[in-house]
């Protein structure tokens, strides 16, 4: 079996790591195509080196642009690559513009497409990720769902016959790296200046278009973080830096200590060393849950609703209007045990079994 994986943005590289490792154990040809949607070293290269992912076979170097430009350029660049490879499966990941472009290029060439992390929904049609997920699920031939909830969404959209529950590959990688960090196999994370790793601190990230692209909203979110009584390690995505500079918004103030995005193991270590997480990232909400730290999510909804049970994760769309914002963001970890809604850490192997079983 020959499979082409199409990736381009940071969260896809995290999901690629366990998949590439599982392919390496099998008699399969795995071709990695990097679209170049993310090009900063901190968002791309360190994930390949840090997670032991083989270098991409093809790099398209697409870079930034409006949604249409970025998706269109990727689509055009992928056509000849997929035509030359003619794989048994094109595997697309998550919900980025690279995911949608990969899916369109493949279906137009009658190449079977499998969507990893299928069936997630925010039901917020203003999110670019929601368009990408819905369109990808409806175009793909095989839907690899991470959770029962995702399976229910797919069934509700008439896609049950194409769907398989495989579990979440992010559990595979998160727990493996957690164990390595706890064994001391990784250097200490480079936390922002001013964060004492021995004292309580929060980990924060902010990058979603809904939060960064409106100056008033971004200002309110940054003010709320700066007002917290606990130091906040703000690991800044380039989009957050670009937008705050554009709006003349100072990030390094009050409780906030700004640093670069961390490599994956560094992020796991930073979360393990923290008293909690405040974020708008999907992946980080789940990592906080898997690592047992309370999470506060600066959004109106979450695709990972399982984290919301027992107060492990709380949605706070507007911190400045929330009377107990400080108490919420600094609340201790709940005592309730966490279940295993995201699977047993062997999802990547199940993905490969499912691809083999459904091969044309």
- Contact residues for ligand UD1 (CB under 6 A)? 9-11, 37-40, 43, 64, 70, 95-97, 128-129, 207, 237-239, 242
Q: Least separation, in Å, of the C-beta of 123 and ligand UD1?
A: 16
| Number of C-beta neighbours around residue 302 at 10 A | 20
Q: Least separation, in Å, of the C-beta of 96 and ligand UD1?
A: 3
Q: Which position among 34, 38, 207, 349 bears the catalytic label?
A: 207
Q: Least separation, in Å, of the C-beta of 282 and ligand UD1?
A: 7
Sorted by sequence, the CB contacts under 8 Å of residue 285 that are 6+ apart come out as 277, 279, 295, 297, 302, 304, 307, 313
Active site residue 131: no
Q: Least separation, in Å, of the C-beta of 133 and ligand UD1?
A: 10
Q: Which secondary-structure segment (H or E) carries 164? A: strand 163-165
Sorted by sequence, the CB contacts under 8 Å of residue 138 that are 6+ apart come out as 157, 159
Q: For residues 261 and 294, which CB has a smaller minimum distance to ligand UD1 in the complex?
A: 261
Contact predicate 144/123, CB 8 Å: no
Q: For residues 221 and 255, which CB has a smaller minimum distance to ligand UD1 in the complex?
A: 221
Q: Give the C-alpha separation, 188 to 252, whole Å.
A: 22
CA distances from 161 to 141, 144, 164, 284, 343 (A): 10, 12, 8, 31, 21
Q: Give the residue numbers marked as catalytic.
A: 207
């Amino acid at each position: 079996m020959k499979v082409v994986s199409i990736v381009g943005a940071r969260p896809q590289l995290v999901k690629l790591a366990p998949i590439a490792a599982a392919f390496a154990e099998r008699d399969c040809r795995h071709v990695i195509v990097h679209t170049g949607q993310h090009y900063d070293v901190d968002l791309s290269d360190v994930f390949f080196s840090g997670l032991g992912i083989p270098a991409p076979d093809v790099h398209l170097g697409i870079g930034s642009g409006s949604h249409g430009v970025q998706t269109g350029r990727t689509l055009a660049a992928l056509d000849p690559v997929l035509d030359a490879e003619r794989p048994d499966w094109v595997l697309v990941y998550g919900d980025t513009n690279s995911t949608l472009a990969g899916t369109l290029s493949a279906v137009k060439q009658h190449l079977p497409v499998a969507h990893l992390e299928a069936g997630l929904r925010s039901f917020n049609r203003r999110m670019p990720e929601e368009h990408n997920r819905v369109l990808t699920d409806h175009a793909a031939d095989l839907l690899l769902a991470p959770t029962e909830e995702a399976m229910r969404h797919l069934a509700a959209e008439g896609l049950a016959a194409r769907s398989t529950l495989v579990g979440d590959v992010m559990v595979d990688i998160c727990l493996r790296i957690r164990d390595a960090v706890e064994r001391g196999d990784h250097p200490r994370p480079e936390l922002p200046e001013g964060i004492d790793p021995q004292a309580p601190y929060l980990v924060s990230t902010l990058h979603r278009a809904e939060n960064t692209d409106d100056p008033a909203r971004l200002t309110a979110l940054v003010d709320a973080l700066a007002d917290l009584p606990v130091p906040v390690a703000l690991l800044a995505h380039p989009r957050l830096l670009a937008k705050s500079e554009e709006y003349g918004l100072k990030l390094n103030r009050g409780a906030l200590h700004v640093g670069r995005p961390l490599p994956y193991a560094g992020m796991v270590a930073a979360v393990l060393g923290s008293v909690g997480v405040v974020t708008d990232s999907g992946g980080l909400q789940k990592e906080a849950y898997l690592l047992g730290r309370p999470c506060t999510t600066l959004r109106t909804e979450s695709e990972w609703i399982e984290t919301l049970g027992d107060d492990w994760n709380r949605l706070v769309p507007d911190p400045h209007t929330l009377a107990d914002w400080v108490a919420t963001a600094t609340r201790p970890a709940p005592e309730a045990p966490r279940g295993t809604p995201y699977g047993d850490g062997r999802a990547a192997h199940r993905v490969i079994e499912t691809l083999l079983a459904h091969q044309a």
